[in-house]
Amino acid sequence: MTGHQNMAEQSIQTVGVIGLGKMGNPMGRLLAAKGFSVVGYDLSEAACQAAAKHNVAIAKSPAELAQKCGLVIVVTGFEHEAEAALFGENGVIAGARPGTVVAVASTISPSGMRGIAKRLEARGLVPLDIPLCRGEPAAEAGKLLITGGGDATERARQVQPP
């Protein structure tokens, strides 16, 4: 069994949330309340401060966040923001260990997600496409509908609400 396979089969203890806005902040808060160790990152200091009030540790970069997490959830608004968080300077790929699950919940075209998935796989990371449905009120209530596609769907399911 390779290190990549071994990491992909481990249970997730620490979850990273990149994008602590209208969707990411409640996701981080609810994951922390569920008992996960949660690390967050956002370009907005105000968003970071709001998340920190709910037991979300704040990383200085996506790379630092990824070093600490078995699952990284990217909840940015747009494809270019997700690309920057993943592949930019101090992005996720600079810090993630092989086998880390990278779940992209940002608004991304299917072809864009396929490209992101290929780039993540080339680095030994496990991509997961997780569109979010029902919007901000559902995020606040812990009632998001999260659909998923990718090899790590079952592993990441432990993070979903019942």
Q: Please tell me the pTM assigned to this model.
A: 0.85
**Residue 157: its pLDDT value, please?**
60
Q: What is the CATH number of the domain that holds 58?
A: 3.40.50.720
pLDDT of 104-131, one tens digit each?
A: 999 899 999 999 999 999 999 999 998 8
**Residue 131: its pLDDT value, please?**
80
**Residue 5: its pLDDT value, please?**
42
Host domain of residue 27: 3-159
State how many domains the chain has. 1
**Residue 17: its pLDDT value, please?**
98
Name the pairing type of β-strands 37-41 and 14-18: parallel
Question: For the chain, which ranges sit under pLDDT 50?
Answer: 1-9, 161-162
**Residue 135: its pLDDT value, please?**
67
**Residue 6: its pLDDT value, please?**
43
**Residue 132: its pLDDT value, please?**
76
**Residue 162: its pLDDT value, please?**
41
**Residue 8: its pLDDT value, please?**
45
